[in-house]
Structure 1
Amino acid sequence: MTALIIAGLLLFAAAALIDTLVGPAFKRLRPAQLPYLVCAAGSACLAATGARALVDPGVSVRLSFGAWLGFGTSSLAVDQLTALFWLLTFGVATAACLTAAGWAPRRAAQKGTAACTALVLAAVAVVQGADNAFLFLLAWEALTAGFYLLAGADRTRPDSVAASVTTFVFGKVSGAALLFGLLLLASRSGGFSLAGFAHVPPGLLHGTAWTLLVVAFAIKVGLVPVQVWMPRGYAAAPAGVRAVMAGVAVNAGFYGLWRTLGLLGPPPTWLALTLLLVAAVTALLGIAHAAVQGRLERVIAYSSVENAGLICTGYGVALVGARLDEPRLMAVGLLAATLQAAAHAIAKTLLFAGAACLESVAGTGDLEQLRGMARRLPWAGTGLAIGAITLAGLPPTAGFVSEWFLLESLLQQFRLPHLPYALALAGAGALIALTAGFASVTFVRVVGMTVLGPRTEERLAREPRHLDLGGTGRAGMLLLAVGGLAMAALTPLELRVLARGLSGLVPAAVSGGALKSAWVTQPVYGDFSILSASWLWVTMPLLGAAVVVVLLIGASRGQALRVRRVPAWRSASGGVHGDDQYTPFGYANPTRRILGAILLTRTRTALLAPHSPGGPEPSPGAGVRPAATGAVLGYSSDVMEVVETYVYRPLVRPLRGLVTVAKRLQSGRLDAYLAYMLITLVAVLALVTALA
C-alpha cells in the first residue's frame, strides 16, 4: 500500500513536469490533456489506498520521511479518518481530472494550470495524511500557494489579479492561525507529533488552540465572515479546474475540523455554540447570494458557501454532542456532516465541470446568454442538472439523504438538558430549513433556464458546433453522475463505510445505530423517524410509470395528449419587449425582494432609449412601459455583499495607514532587518511561553 502512495505523489510530480516542460516533440500525446490524465491516475492511486485501508483496518499504511524536516520524525500515516477522506477526496478528484482533461485541449488553457492542479492535489494528500505538525503546516501553505496560482492563472479575466491577491491574503491569515494554534499545542505536548496533542489537558491553552484551529479551517471552507475570498477565487480560476478547487481541495478544511475534534476532544461550550450558529447563518447567506447572481460560475461559487454552512452545522451538532458527552448526538452530527460533504464534493464537481463546457462554448458565463445552452451539449447539461438537483436536496439524490440527516440531527434539541444548547439547535434548524427552501429556488433557475430553456434561432446560427466534453470528459461526468446517484441508492452501505471511517471519533457501534434494518435508516436515535433512500429508487420509478399508464389510457379518447398552442402571455401592459419566458433576472427578482433585509437590495429606474423594431432587446428588467416622450422606463435591481461592505471595506483606510508606517521601516539596512526578526521571534516565544 505504501507503493500506491509513492506512485500517487510521483504521478502528481510527473504531471507538473509534463505541463511545464513538455514541448512540441510530444504533440501526438496532446500535452494539454496528458497532465490532467496523469493527475487522474495519481488520484486513483490514493483513492485505492483509502479504500483498502477502510476495508482492512489491520493493514498499517505509512510512508515515513524520517527526521529530515528537522521537527521530529514525520510521515504520511493512513488511519481510518485519513482513509475515509482519501477515498472521498481522491475518488472525486479522479473524475474531476478527467473532466479537466476533456476541457483542456479545446479551451487554450494557460500553461502551468495543470501543474498548479497537481500541486493542489499533492498538498491535499499531505494535509490529510500528515502525522507531524510541521509537515501539516508545510502542506497547508502549499495549498494556499496552489489556490493563489489557480485564481490568477486566467489572465484574460480583468478581476484575476484582485481575486488571486484576495485568495492569497485569506490563505495566509488561515496559515497564521494554524501556525499559532499548532505552536501552542506543541509547547504543551513537548513535540510536533499530532498524536501527542491529544494529551494536552483542558484549560486556557487548550481552548485558545481550539479557537485558532477552527478559525484556520473556517477560512479555508468559507464560513462567515471569512467567506468573501471564495466566490472571487473560484470564479477567477480557469473554468476547467474550478471543480478541483471547490469539489476536492476544500475537503482539506473539513478534514482539519474532523481531526481537531479527534485530537483535542470537546471544545469550549461557547465555541461549539458559536460555530453551530455561524454555520447556519453562512448557509442562509450563501444561498441568498447564489439565488440572485447573474453569472453561472458565481451561482455555483456562492452555493459552495452555503454547502460549507450545511456541513459545519452538522459538525456543530457533533461538537455539542461531544461537549455534553452524548455519543449518539455526536454520531448523528458527524454522519450528517460527512454525508453532506460527500454529496457536496460530487455535485459541486458536476456543476463546475458542466459549467466549464458551457462557458467555453458560449464564451461567457452570463446566465442570460446561457439560456438553453445545455440543450446543445447534452453531456454537460445532464451533469449540470444532476448536480443542481443534488444540491437542491431533492429525492432520490444523495443531497436529499444528507439534508434529511442534517435536519433530523437538529430536531434532537428536546433531548438536551440545558436550554442554551436546545435554543442553539432550534435556531440553527430554522435557518437550515429556510436555506433548503431557497436552495430549491436557486437550482430550479439553473435547471429550468440553462438546461431546459429554449435556444433562440438567432443564437443557434451564431454558435459553431463543438464536441461535448470529449471522451475523457464524458467518462469523468459519467463517473460522477453514477457515483452520486449510487450513493443515494446504496445509503446503508455508505453509512457502514462512514461509521468505519469515523470510528476514531465516535464508536462504530454508536454510528451503526443509523441503520434500523438492512435498507432502512434512522438518525441514530431509534423510534424517532426513518428513511429508506434505497426504496425511493424503487417506488419513484413505479409511480412515474403508473402516471404514464394513466396518461396513455386517457389518451385513447384523444384528450390527454392533445397539444393546444396559444400566444404567449407577456403582460397586461403594452410596450413590453423581451422573450416569451421568464429571464434569469426576472425569476430571481422575488428572491431579491423577499431577502431584501439580508441582501440590502437596491432598485433603480431610468429612462432608456426607445426600442426600435428589429433592434436589440432591452436588458432584462428594463422595458416596463413607454414614457410619454417615447423613451422606455427601465428597471434594475442589484444586491450588496453585506460582509464585505460593512466588515472589510471600513478596514481599508486604517490598513493603508499601517502599510505607510511599515514602509518607513524599510531602511535597506541588513542589521535593522535582523533586529526586526529578533524582536518578532522573542515576542512569539514570549507569547507561547505565557500561554503555556
Structure 2
Amino acid sequence: MLRQGSLGQRVATAGALLASLMALPAISYMLTAGLRARYLIEWNLPFGSCELALDPLTLIFLIPIFLVFAAGSLYACGYWPASSKPASEPPLTFFYGLLAAAMAMVVVSRNGALLVMSWEVMALSGYFLMSAEHTDPEVGKAGLVYLVASHLGAASLLVLFSLLAGATGSFLFPAAGSLHVSSSLAAILFFAALLGFGSKAGIMPLHIWLPSAHANAPSHVSAILSGVMLKMGIYGILRVITFFPERPLWWGELLVVAGLVSALMGICIASAQKDIKRLLAYSSIENLGLITAGIGAALYGEATGSSRLAYLGMAGALFHILNHGMFKPLLFFGAGSVMHATGTREMDRMGGLSSRMPWSTLLSLAGAVAICGLPPFNGFASEFLLYLGFFGEARSSQPLLALGAPVLALVGGVAVISLVKLFGITFLGAPRSEGAAHSHESPASMLVPMGVLAGLSLVGGIFPQLFLSLVNPVVGALALGAPAGYAAPVRPIALTAAGAALPLLAGAIFLVLKRRELASPRATGPTWGCGYLAPAPRIQYTASSFGQLMGSLSTPLIRSRTSRGTVAGVAPVEASFRYQPEETLLGKVAMPALRGAATVSAFIRRLQHGEVQIYMLYIFATLFVLLLSVR
C-alpha cells in the first residue's frame, strides 16, 4: 500500500500509522479510567510557565486528530504520490504532519500565549496545504480569503488571552470554575472566544473562508481540515466556558440560535451545489452547527436546572464530534477517489461510476448514510441524543427550546436530499463524460483508510455505548449539572441500535438472493424507453436539475450566476449555458468588503517608499499630532 509514494512519504506515513496505533489505545484508556496528566516545561519566554496537560476534554479531541492524520497519510500515498506530484508532495507531506502536531499542541496547551502560537502554526500549515496547487487562480483566491479570516480570528484570540491575563495576572489558564470576574468582562471574554474560535469552526456568518478552502484543497487535506481542524474552534469555546463557575442563560440561547441557523443555512446552500467537494464543505457547516446547538442546549439545561437536557446536549455534541471526525473524512476520501478516477469535481460530468468503482461506491454510500443521520451508522446515534434533548423540552415549564426540534428535522430532511443527489448523480446512471466512462477503481492505499472509517462509523451506530464510554467522562468533567453516568437515554439508544441491525439482516438476505440469481440462467432485453428511441446520458438528471427545487426555495441564501452563448442567424454556431450557484453572503457582503479592504491597503502601501528620510518625516508628523492632542 505504501509503494506508490517516495521514500520520505513512506517513512512519514509509517510514522503516522505507528504514532496513531500507540496513541489511540492510550487515549481511550486514559478517558475510560479517568486519568489526568500535567507537565511543566522550562522556557525563556516572558509569558509565565509553559504548562501542558491531559484532561478528558483534551483527550476526546485528540482522538480525531490521530485517527484522521493516520488515515489521510496512508490515503495520500495513492492519491498524491511523489511519482505524479514530485514538486508538491514533499512540502505537502511536511505540512500535513506539522498541522497534526500543531492541533495536538493546541488542545494540550494550558498557557494562552502557547495556544496562540500553536494556533498560528496550525493556521499557516493549513494555508500551505490548501495552496498546494497555487498556480490555479481559484486556489490563490481561496488561500487569500483563508489567511484574512484566520488572522482576524487570531486577533480576537489575542484580545481574549490578554484580557484573561489582565484578570488573573498570568497567561496560564485558570482552573475550571475559578474565574470570578464581572458580568460585563465575562460577556466580553465570551464574545472574543466566540469570534476567535467560532471563525475557525465555521459558525455562520464567520464561515467565509471554509467553502473555497475545503473545495480547492487536496482531498486528504480537506478531510483533516473538515474532520479535525474545524473542531479546534469547538474545543476553544468549550475550554473558555469551563473557566467560569456560572454560565448565564443567554450564552446557551445564543449558541443554540447560532448553531441551528448555521445548520439550516449550511445544508440548504449545500443542496444547490454541483461541485462535490463544495457540497461536502457546506455540509460541514451544518454538522458544526449541530454541535454548537448541542453545546448551547447543555448550557441552557445547566442554567435552568435540567440535568437531563445538560447531559443530552453535551453528550450529543461530543458524540457528534467523534462521529463527524469519521464519516466526513470518509466522504472527502470518496470524493478524492472520484476525482482521481474522473479528473473533475463537477457532479454533472460524472455518473455510472458504481460499475467501475464498486468499492469506492460502497464506502461512499456508507459515509452518505452516516452523515444523513440514518441507522445503522453513527450519525444516527449522536443526532438521536440531540433530538431527545430538544423534544424533551416540550414538557418543561419553558418549552421554547422545543422549537429547535422541527428545525433539526428540517435539517435532516434537506441533508438526505443533498446526499441522495451526491450519491445518485455521482455513482448511478450512465457516464456523462469521457472521464467518467473510463474511470477506474482506486488503489488499496486509498480504499483501506476509507474501509477503516466506514467500519468505525458502523460500530458507532450499532454499539453506541462504546463511544458513550468515551464521552461520559468528558460530560462529568465539564460539571454542567449532569452526572457522568447519566443513563436515562442509553436504554432507548440501545433499543434503536438493536433495530438498526435489521438493515444488516436485510443486506445479508439480499446477498443470498443475489447469489442465487447469478447462479440461475437469465435473459436480457430492452426496457421501456419512456418514448425515447435513442436514450442518451444527457436526458438524465444532473446535479443542477436535481437541486433546482431546493435552490429555488433558498434564493435568499443562494444566487445563480449564469452565462450563456448567443443563438443568432440562420445557421447559429454552437452555444452553451453555464450555471454556478453562489452564496449571497459571500458574493454580496464578504467579498465586496475584502475588495474594499484591498483597495485601502493598496493606497496605504504607497506610503512605503523605502526611503529613511520619508519615514522620519512620518514619525515627526505623528509626534506633532500627538503633542497637539495632549495639549
Same fold (TM over 0.5): yes
1:495 is displaced (CA, Å) by: 1.4
**2: CA distance between counterparts of 1:379 and 1:497?**
31
1:604 is displaced (CA, Å) by: 8.2
Cα 1:656–1:167 shift into 2, 3 Å: closer
User: Do 2:228 and 2:325's aligned partners in 1 also have CA atoms closer than 8 Å?
Assistant: yes
User: Do 1:81 and 1:501's aligned partners in 2 also have CA atoms closer than 8 Å?
Assistant: yes
Q: Which residue type is aligned with residue 569 of structure 1?
A: C
The answer on 1:37 being equivalent to 2:6 is: no
- Larger displacement relative to structure 2 (139-148 or 79-88): 79-88
**2: CA distance between counterparts of 1:263 and 1:298?**
36
Q: Which SS does the other structure have where 2:468 is aligned?
A: helix
The answer on 1:447 being equivalent to 2:418 is: no
**1: CA distance between counterparts of 2:411 and 2:374?**
13
Cα 1:440–1:379 shift into 2, 3 Å: same
- Larger displacement relative to structure 2 (499-508 or 313-322): 499-508
Matched ranges for 1:106-117 at <5 A: 107-108=84-85, 110=88, 111-117=90-96
The answer on 1:589 being equivalent to 2:548 is: yes
The answer on 1:566 being equivalent to 2:545 is: no
What's the counterpart of residue 49 of structure 2? Answer: 73
Structure 1 unmatched ranges of 5 or more: 1-25, 523-530, 611-627, 680-692
What's the counterpart of residue 613 of structure 1? Answer: none
User: Do 1:314 and 1:336's aligned partners in 2 also have CA atoms closer than 8 Å?
Assistant: yes
Q: Which residue type is aligned with residue 33 of structure 2?
A: D
Cα 1:638–1:653 shift into 2, 3 Å: closer
**2: CA distance between counterparts of 1:676 and 1:393?**
63
What's the counterpart of residue 106 of structure 2? Answer: 127
What's the counterpart of residue 331 of structure 2? Answer: 351
- TM-score for both structures, normalised by structure 1: 0.79
What's the counterpart of residue 85 of structure 1? Answer: 61
User: Do 1:157 and 1:236's aligned partners in 2 also have CA atoms closer than 8 Å?
Assistant: no
The answer on 1:286 being equivalent to 2:249 is: no
1:516 is displaced (CA, Å) by: 5.4
What's the counterpart of residue 380 of structure 1? Answer: 360
Structure 2 unmatched ranges of 5 or more: 625-631
Q: Which residue type is aligned with residue 453 of structure 1?
A: G
The answer on 1:150 being equivalent to 2:129 is: yes
User: Do 2:348 and 2:432's aligned partners in 1 also have CA atoms closer than 8 Å?
Assistant: no
Q: Deviations over 1:495-541 (max 9, x none)?
A: 12200133211379634224556xx236xxxxxxxx62430243333
Cα 1:544–1:30 shift into 2, 3 Å: closer
**2: CA distance between counterparts of 1:63 and 1:82?**
14
Cα 1:676–1:69 shift into 2, 3 Å: farther
- Larger displacement relative to structure 2 (122-131 or 230-239): 230-239
What's the counterpart of residue 536 of structure 1? Answer: 499
Cα 1:576–1:672 shift into 2, 3 Å: farther
User: Do 1:398 and 1:484's aligned partners in 2 also have CA atoms closer than 8 Å?
Assistant: yes
Q: Which residue type is aligned with residue 12 of structure 2?
A: P
**2: CA distance between counterparts of 1:678 and 1:431?**
57
The answer on 1:521 being equivalent to 2:492 is: yes
Matched ranges for 1:235-314 at <5 A: 235-314=215-294
Q: Which SS does the other structure have where 1:512 is aligned?
A: coil
- Larger displacement relative to structure 2 (206-215 or 323-332): 323-332
Q: Which residue type is aligned with residue 591 of structure 1?
A: M
The answer on 1:53 being equivalent to 2:30 is: yes
**2: CA distance between counterparts of 1:211 and 1:122?**
28
The answer on 1:174 being equivalent to 2:174 is: no
1:203 is displaced (CA, Å) by: 1.5
**2: CA distance between counterparts of 1:508 and 1:44?**
35
1:655 is displaced (CA, Å) by: 2.5
Cα 1:265–1:213 shift into 2, 3 Å: farther
Q: Which residue type is aligned with residue 478 of structure 1?
A: G
Number of residue pairs the alignment of both structures matches: 612
Q: Which residue type is aligned with residue 466 of structure 2?
A: L
What's the counterpart of residue 686 of structure 1? Answer: none
Q: Deviations over 1:180-211 (max 9, x none)?
A: 01111111111111135732334211110011
- TM-score for both structures, normalised by structure 2: 0.87
1:144 is displaced (CA, Å) by: 1.0
1:381 is displaced (CA, Å) by: 2.6
**1: CA distance between counterparts of 2:120 and 2:622?**
21
Matched ranges for 1:249-648 at <5 A: 249-418=229-398, 422-423=399-400, 425-455=401-431, 462=438, 468-470=442-444, 472-506=445-479, 510-515=483-488, 520-521=491-492, 532-542=495-505, 565-569=526-530, 578-601=537-560, 608=567, 638-648=580-590
Aligned-pair identity in percent equals 26
- Larger displacement relative to structure 2 (577-586 or 115-124): 577-586
Q: Which residue type is aligned with residue 405 of structure 2?
A: G
Cα 1:569–1:585 shift into 2, 3 Å: farther
Match of 2:172 among 184, 190, 193: 193
What's the counterpart of residue 628 of structure 2? Answer: none
Which protein, 1 or 2, shows the higher relative CO under an 8 Å CA cutoff with sep ≥ 6?
Answer: 2
Q: Which residue type is aligned with residue 476 of structure 2?
A: S
**1: CA distance between counterparts of 2:352 and 2:535?**
22
Q: Which residue type is aligned with residue 469 of structure 1?
A: P
Q: Which residue type is aligned with residue 286 of structure 2?
A: E
1:230 is displaced (CA, Å) by: 0.5
What's the counterpart of residue 627 of structure 2? Answer: none
Q: Which SS does the other structure have where 1:75 is aligned?
A: strand
Cα 1:185–1:108 shift into 2, 3 Å: same
User: Do 1:65 and 1:75's aligned partners in 2 also have CA atoms closer than 8 Å?
Assistant: yes
Match of 1:140 among 96, 101, 119: 119
Cα 1:112–1:549 shift into 2, 3 Å: closer
Q: Which SS does the other structure have where 2:52 is aligned?
A: strand
1:227 is displaced (CA, Å) by: 0.9
Q: Which residue type is aligned with residue 69 of structure 1?
A: L
Q: Which residue type is aligned with residue 279 of structure 2?
A: V
Q: Which SS does the other structure have where 1:64 is aligned?
A: strand
- Larger displacement relative to structure 2 (169-178 or 274-283): 274-283
